[in-house]
């Protein structure tokens, strides 16, 4: 069994007696033991990050580009090892894990390209009191960044914080999920091998009390958090004057109207609802279908969901793997039962699956109440709810009846309706004739309401990690 610890100032630390057991999410066997960082090590992470920033921020964009290029080569060479970690640590189905790795490569490439594009603009000045003067802006790295990443995309969502930091000239401290620290620790090692300064990237494995020390510290200039709304908004409240970017998930909805391709929509929505056991921020949770096609669509969706292969994530073809932890298996089961007791109908009930491996099968619910947790909360499990609508106005209102607003999918061939949805639905993005789970890694990604604050995407993250400065001559 692997024994490891936080990666701080260019080395793995070993001073803490507190250990965190990391389990294979399907077999539930302990596969690693990680030492938790002490308050002293937290301070070393911060001081080394400040020191490394002062060095690295003076590097030319060309030098940052060369270092990132070496990091990309090293990352690609670790493909099989990283995919194996995603399967074991995160319980990610093999094909989906391979897809995450490929997305990671693109994420780093986007950062590599943006390294040479960070610049400013000429500001018109030669008039009035500015006559005879010229002005331009440039962008400068703001300082040490704190990135707190989740378990469900432990590589790519970490790289959405790490890669733009390296591109822009910032240092960064990564605090990964306690469920998936090994992926992040390997990233720290690769950064060192690529030749970046010690302390520029620190990977800190710690308890909540110590992570709050990082959030509160004024030497940290930006907090980028991906995770639950409850934790995200709490961290914002203690973050002080630093910039805060929050990506907090939601209960994503999809609309299917009578003009859409029902067969295609049913197949895509089944995957969008239940892939990776629904443990995706933009997993399809709420499905609203036009009355004219509701019965037909429901039958097709049940059929498509029943075809999805579930079980051991190490096997190719599996789409629905384990829930990350037994506590969430129990929570999801309780929410389903509460809805059922309140009168909801279970079209598919996935609770009688392989509980010894934390497997829940796809669950599809209709006749639910708006106060059911499966409706108004983020399930983060293989559960979707189904409801018919009679008018376009009703469909839009159903989507907006949520404290979340991350992304929405609209299956329709009516341009006027699509335009109305774009104007009126309260989300960060609307995807036409596709599920809300669509994302490529250069797009601005984020939500409104309780779904977050700000936008991810390499270019947009670099904007947040740099300040604009004006020169007048």
Active site members: 247, 281
> What token pair was written down for 61?
């964009």
Contact (Cβ atoms closer than 8 angstroms) between residue 406 and residue 456: no
C-alpha to C-alpha distance for 280 and 381, rounded to whole angstroms: 8
Q: If you search the block for the tokens 């998930």, which residue do you land on?
A: 249
- Residues ≥6 apart with Cβ < 8 Å to 455: 245, 428, 444, 445, 446, 461
**What is the separation of C-alpha 392 from the centre of its chain, rounded to a whole number of angstroms?**
31
The conformational region for residue 26 under phi > 0 = left, psi -120 to 50 = alpha, else beta, is alpha
C-alpha to C-alpha distance for 443 and 429, rounded to whole angstroms: 10
Which contiguous run of DSSP H or E holds residue 12?
A: strand 11-12
β-pair type (7-8, 11-12): antiparallel
- Residues ≥6 apart with Cβ < 8 Å to 403: 376, 449, 450
Contact (Cβ atoms closer than 8 angstroms) between residue 436 and residue 252: yes
Q: In 10 A of CB 263, how many CB atoms?
A: 12
DSSP 216: H
C-alpha to C-alpha distance for 214 and 212, rounded to whole angstroms: 5
> At 410, phi and psi to the nearest 5?
-130, 110
3-state helix, strand, coil in the chain (%, to 5): 40, 20, 35
As a residue count, the chain comes to 473
Rg of the chain over Cα atoms, rounded to whole angstroms, equals 23
Query: Starting at the edge strand that comes first in sequence, how are the strands of the sheet with 466-472 ordered?
Result: 122-123, 135-141, 466-472
C-alpha to C-alpha distance for 157 and 402, rounded to whole angstroms: 25
Nearest to 216 by CA among 187, 196, 234, 240: 240
N-to-C CA span, the chain: 62
Question: What's the sign of the alpha-carbon dihedral 80, 82, 84, 86?
Answer: negative
């Amino acid at each position: 069994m692997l024994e490891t610890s936080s990666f701080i100032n260019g080395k793995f630390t070993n001073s803490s007696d507190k250990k965190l057991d990391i389990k294979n999410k399907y077999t539930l066997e302990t596969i690693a033991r990680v030492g938790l960082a002490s308050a002293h090590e937290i301070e070393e992470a911060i001081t080394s990050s400040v020191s490394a920033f002062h060095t690295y921020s003076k590097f030319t964009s060309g030098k940052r580009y060369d270092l990132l290029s070496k990091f990309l080569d090293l990352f690609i060479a670790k493909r099989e090892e990283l995919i194996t970690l995603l399967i074991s640590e995160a319980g990610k189905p093999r094909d989906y894990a391979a897809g995450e790795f490929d997305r990671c490569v693109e994420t780093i490439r986007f950062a590599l390209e943006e390294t040479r594009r960070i610049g400013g603009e000429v500001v018109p000045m030669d008039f009035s009191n500015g006559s005879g003067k010229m002005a331009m802006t440039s962008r400068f790295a703001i300082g040490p960044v704190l990135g707190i990443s989740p378990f469900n995309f432990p590589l790519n969502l970490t790289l959405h914080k790490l890669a733009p930091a390296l591109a822009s000239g910032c240092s960064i401290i990564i605090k990964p999920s306690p469920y998936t620290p090994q992926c992040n620790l390997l990233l720290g090692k690769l950064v060192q091998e690529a030749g970046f300064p010690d302390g520029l990237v620190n990977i800190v494995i710690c308890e909540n009390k110590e992570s709050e020390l990082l959030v509160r510290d004024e030497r940290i200039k930006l907090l980028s958090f991906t995770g639950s709304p409850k934790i995200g908004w709490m961290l914002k409240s203690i973050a002080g004057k630093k910039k805060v970017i929050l990506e907090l998930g939601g209960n994503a909805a999809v609309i299917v109207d009578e003009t859409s391709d029902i067969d295609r929509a049913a197949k895509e929505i089944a995957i969008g609802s239940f892939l990776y056991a629904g443990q995706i921020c933009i997993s399809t949770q709420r499905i609203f279908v036009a009355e004219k096609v509701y019965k037909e669509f429901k039958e097709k969706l049940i059929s498509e969901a029943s075809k999805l292969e579930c079980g051991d994530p190490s096997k190719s073809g599996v789409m629905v793997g384990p829930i990350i932890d037994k506590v969430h298996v129990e929570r999801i089961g309780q929410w389903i039962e509460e809805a059922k007791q309140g009168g909801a109908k279970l079209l598919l009930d996935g609770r009688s699956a392989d509980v010894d491996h934390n497997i829940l099968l796809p669950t599809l619910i209709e006749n639910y109440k708006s106060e059911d947790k499966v409706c108004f909360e983020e399930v983060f499990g293989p559960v979707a709810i189904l409801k018919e609508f009679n008018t376009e106005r009703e469909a839009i209102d159903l989507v907006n009846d949520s404290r979340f607003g991350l992304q929405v999918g609209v299956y329709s061939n009516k341009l006027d309706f699509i335009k109305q949805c774009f104007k009126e639905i309260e989300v960060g993005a609307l995807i036409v004739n596709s599920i809300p789970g669509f994302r490529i890694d250069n797009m601005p990604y984020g939500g409104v309401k309780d779904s977050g604050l700000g936008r991810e995407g390499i270019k947009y993250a670099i904007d947040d990690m740099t300040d604009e400065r004006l020169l007048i001559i």
